[in-house]
Amino acid sequence: MPIKSIRGGINLRKCLISAFKRNSLLLLVTLLTISAFIYYTVYTVILVKLLNPTLIEDFMNFLSANYPAKIPKPETHEFFMFVFMNNTRFYWNPLNMLVWIPLFGALIVGFSFLLNGVVIGAVAAMLGLKYGPLLPIVGLAPHGIIEVPAFIIQCTAILRWHITISTLLFNLIRGEKVEKAKVKEDLMDVVILSAISIFLLFIAALIETYITPSLIKLVEKNVEEFRLQSQPFQELLATLRQLKHDI
């Protein structure tokens, strides 16, 4: 292997490690915040189910009636593009790219990612309560273990952008010295973290498109109870995907 290739690989690895180290606190805060929203959403859904069993069912029927699934069928290229483009919309969709506007965008991205945490928690809890733990595990976990960390890294990248640009603007307004090297380093972190999140979301979309449906079919063949519930489960999951896309 050429020496330049080896050095290039080592430098890339150092850049990745450095980017995560410099943003470790921001990553941790984002992780804890989203995790807290997922946890309390699951807890709230379970509590509501215990206090008013019909309310969750009525809400799920409301979603099915008002958010009909218009997404492509799984195991198709169209479905993969739907999932991947939706999850990376902050990088290409003009309306969603408003999150990059200094100060104002921070409010949007904060609300968006917390809402994602609520949706993830609600989906897992409602599906688990209605169909048992096996269905949410098979239907959500395979891609979720990659997708959720990717969202956390994506959120961290956008927050790092806001911190860097806001600090730069304030320093310019006050006439204070701008640390160009620090600004350049922080912006490079934004690029690195964004690239990592996009790559992970690409992998997650592939899993959700081609592996998750196969796992559902595999379990469906061996578990009678699962076989009876698989179709309505997938219909509800499609409805919830549509809801996530719309918000």
Three-class secondary structure assignment of 155-202: HHHHHHHHHHHHHHHHHHHHCCCCCHHHHHHHHHHHHHHHHHHHHHHH
pLDDT tens, N- to C-terminus, the chain (247 residues)? 454 544 555 577 888 889 999 999 999 999 998 888 888 888 888 888 778 777 767 776 766 666 555 778 888 899 899 889 988 988 988 888 888 998 788 888 878 777 777 777 777 777 777 767 777 788 788 888 999 899 999 999 999 999 999 999 998 888 888 888 999 999 999 999 999 999 999 999 999 999 988 887 777 666 555 555 555 556 656 665 655 555 5
16 in Cβ contact with 192 (< 8 Å): yes
Model's pTM, two decimal places? 0.82
Residue holding tokens 């969202």?
Answer: 151
Q: Structural domain boundaries of the chain?
A: 25-246
Smallest CA-to-CA distance from 71 within 216, 186, 241, 210 is with: 241
